[in-house]
Structures are given as structure tokens and as C-alpha cells.
Amino acid sequence: MTGLKPNTRAVITGASTGIGRAIAVQLAKEYSGKMILNARGKDDLNRAADLVAKAGGEAHCIAGDVAEKGMAAKLVEACKEKFGGIDILVNNAGLARSGPMPSLSVDDWRYVFEVNFFASLEMVYGVLPEFMAQGHGKIVNVASVAGKVSFPGSVCYASSKFAMTGLSEGMAAEFAGKVDVITVCPGWVRTDFFKRNKLAEDPTIIAKENTVRGWMMRNVLSISSEQASNDIVKAMAKGGSHEIVLTAPGIMVERMAALFPNLTFYLSSLVPADRGKIRRNVGSETESKSTDGTSV
């Protein structure tokens, strides 16, 4: 399939901050993009729309939980009504429930899968009739390196992302030549995902340290949202379906898992299951239910 064209029309979930916002701004700047932006945070979403307008694009905001019943259809219909159709779907919204498996309930798992997988699946079904009828369209599924390798303490989150990568790989093959599928597997990206989900190892905070660890995080271990967006938009512009793994550690972990699965399993088994959580009070207000970012 061909690449991106001027005035491209898109629906982007998790668009208020991080990778989603960066993609929106880049599409506006480089392609005068017209888009529907979705996220839970209304104020952040409006600020993202302002950035899109300043970059030369047009954005309409629909705030709400992407997993809410009927939200997928609402977003797709809004794009068709306001812009006359849809060319790109970016499934970027995501959340995490971390910690040892016994600390998670089945309801936790259901909610993570509702946001990280089933909401994206519903969005795909929402755009497929349009894409198939017009003979083109691009679906960007922001999964994770955790969708390639599962670690203790991230089993729930990783399982939802494994489902996402499986969905993407299968769709890319099934719809080859008709719909482009870009599967994105980021490692550490400096977004507010970690803060919103109460995760202890926040690359954004670490990168601000005036230490060797801070330098490594800024220059080697993580990338900015804008760097991630640049790689994603380049993949869309290239045409065709692609899988891209972001960050040097992410690429290393993904390659090691493919080449040395037994070694990867052994190293994974050494990771403490409770390493990354600042606090978790099941059923309390300290839990994050943000769908505005994406992950490691």
C-alpha cells in the first residue's frame, strides 16, 4: 500500500499525552492531519488539540474511557462525519496492573484486557468496513516489549500485550495489500504512563538525574515520545505492514528472547515480582485507571 497523504484522517486513542499526542502533532505538522482524539483526561486532551492546531492540523476531542460501551463506534462515526472518512486508526490507549499474581483479582485482569486488548479490537472492527471498501487504511497497534517477553510482576499487563501483538501479526498477514498494520513494541518511553500507573521505575524521573544512571536513561535506555512517534510515522509513510521494536534495550530483549529463549526464561525468573510497584491498595482510590499512555 501507499504511504501517507496530505489531510490524512485519523482516530487516535490515548491521545492526551505521550506517544498518542506526539503522533497527533506530527501528523498535523507533516500531513495537515485531521483527527479525532480520545483519552480520559479532558483538560490534557484539549491541550493536545491546541498543539495539533498550532502544528497545522485539525482535532476534535471526545473524552472518555476507550473501553466504555459504544465508544469505538462513537469515535469512528465522528471521524467519518467531521472529516468525510478515516485513513488511520492508532490504538495507543493502555494501562497496567502490576505486582505478584496473587495480589491481582480476576476483575483486574478483565479490566486490563478490556482497555489494552478488547477496546482496540472493537476499534479495529469499527474501521474495517471502511478500510476494506476503500481498499486502503492503516492500523497502528501500540503493544509493548512486554508483548514479546513476560516478566514476574507484569504477567497481567504482558498477557494483554501478547494478545495485541498476536492480533497485529495475524491481521497484517490476513489483510496484506489491503490494510497496513503497524505493530509497535516500545521499551522505555519517557511518558507519564509510569506516574499514572504508580510504577516505581519511572524513566522520566530517572532521566532528570545528574548521575550516570540519569545519563544512561536519557541517551541509551529510553527514548522520548517524539522519538517514538517519528519511528511510527516513518513506518506508516513507508507503506506496508511492519513491526517496530523501540529503544536499544527493547531490541536487545526481543532479540535475546528469539535467539536464546531458555536464557531469557532463566533471567526473567530472577526478577522480583513486586519490584516495580509504589503502592497497590486493591479497590482503593490509589489505583490508577488511566488510559492516556502507553508502556514498556
Q: What is the pLDDT of residues 147-192, one digit of tens each?
A: 999 989 889 999 999 999 999 999 999 999 999 999 999 988 887 7
C-alpha cell at 259: 535467539
pLDDT attached to residue 151: 87
Q: Give CA–CA dist 129/157, Å, rounded.
A: 30
E strands present in 104-143? 138-142
pLDDT for position 287:
37
* pLDDT greater than 50 at residue 292: no
Q: How many whole angstroms separate alpha carbon 17 and alpha carbon 10? A: 16
Least confident stretch, 89-93, 125-129, 213-217: 213-217
The answer to whether 39 and 16 are in contact (CB under 8 A) is yes
Least Cα distance to 24 among 229, 290, 192 occurs for: 229
Q: How far is CA 37 from CA 18, 43, 174, 177, 202, in A?
A: 13, 12, 28, 27, 25
pTM: 0.88
Decide which of 274 and 181 is more confident: 181
For the chain, the domains span 9-190+224-269
3-state secondary structure of 181: strand
Closest CA to 232 of 101, 143, 171, 166: 143
Active site (annotated) includes residue 157: yes
How far is the C-alpha of 92 from the C-alpha of 139, rounded, in Å? 11
Catalytic residue among 111, 125, 157, 266: 157
| CATH class for the domain made up of 9-190+224-269 | alpha beta
Rounded Cα distance between 96 and 240, Å, is: 30
- Residue 16 CA to residue 38 CA, distance in Å, equals 7
- The mean pLDDT of 54-66, rounded to a whole number, is 97
User: In this structure, how many other beta carbons lie within 10 angstroms of the beta carbon of residue 246?
Assistant: 24
